[in-house]
Amino acid sequence: MSDEKQMSFEEAYAQLEDTVRRLEQGGLSLEESLALYERGMELATLCMEQLDQAELRVRQLIPAPDGGMTTEPFEGWEAS
């Protein structure tokens, strides 16, 4: 899953959409369906993690005295 961490949100979401489409079409064996379901869950988790990180970055933005925006460390969160 280390390669997936380098995958952009857009790439992961496109793969997730394709996985869902293939599952919805049916005609797959039980093993194929399970493998696709597992892959879909991995991709969904990756997308949610990236969305959570983006939301955190947005919440860290604060107005600067000069009228622009600046960031402030989010208390209680440690960068990994």
Q: Give domain limits for the chain.
A: 2-71
- The answer to whether 77 and 59 have CB atoms below 8 angstroms apart is no
pLDDT in tens, 60-75: 777 778 888 776 666 6
CA pair distance 73, 56, nearest whole angstrom: 10
2-71, which class in CATH?
Answer: mainly alpha
Which pTM value belongs to this model? 0.69
- For residue 34, what are its two tokens? 């399970």
pLDDT digits (tens, 9 = 90+) for 4-46: 668 999 999 999 999 999 999 999 999 999 999 999 999 999 9
Helix, strand, coil shares of the chain, percent, nearest 5, are 65, 10, 30
Q: How far apart are CA 45 and CA 51, in angstroms?
A: 10
Number of H helices and E strands in the chain, helices first, is: 3, 2
